[in-house]
Amino acid sequence: MTLTLIHLLYLFYGFLVLFGVLALAAIWHMVKFGTYGTRNYVALFLFLAGVSVVMWGTFTLLRDVDWSRPLLQGLTLRAPSRISL
C-alpha cells in the first residue's frame, strides 16, 4: 500500500474531530460554570473567529494540492552495490 498525501489529510481530519470534541468541552464549561459577562463573549468570539481564520487559511493554501501524490516521493533506498572491507 502506498501512502499518499490524502492519508495525511485524513490524519488532519482525525485531528479536527478531536479538536472539535475538546472545543465543545471548553465551550460547555464556559456556559455551565461561567458568568455571563462581556469578557466571556469576547473570548468566545475570539476563539471562534481564530478557529475560522486558521481553517480558512489552511484550506485556501491547500486548494491546488494534488492529494494522490505518494508521500515518500523522491526518497529512494538503495542497497550498496559493493561492500569493500
Partner 1 sequence: MNISTLIHQKAYETRVLELRRHWLLLLKRVIVWAALAAIPFGLFVFLRVNVPAILAHPVAYPALVLGFGAFELSMWLVFFTMFIDYELDLWVITNDRLVSMEQHGLFARTVAELDLWRVQDVTTDVRGVFPTFFNYGNVHVQTAAATERFLLEDVPDPNAVRTFILEMADVDRRFHHSDAMPPPPVTTP
Residue closer to partner 1 (CB basis): 36 or 85 = 36
Minimal distance, residue 58 CB to partner 1, in Å: 3
The three grid cell numbers given for residue 5, joined into one nine-digit string: 498525501
Binding site for partner 1 (CB under 8 A): 5, 8-9, 11-12, 15-16, 19, 22-23, 25-26, 29-36, 39-40, 43, 46-47, 50-51, 54-55, 57-58, 61-62, 65-67, 69-71, 73-74
CA distances from 41 to 45, 47, 84 (A): 6, 10, 71
Residue closer to partner 1 (CB basis): 75 or 83 = 75
Minimal distance, residue 82 CB to partner 1, in Å: 32
**Cα–Cα distance for residue pair 45/53, rounded to 1 Å:** 12
Q: Which of 2, 8, 1, 3 is nearest to 58 (CA)?
A: 8
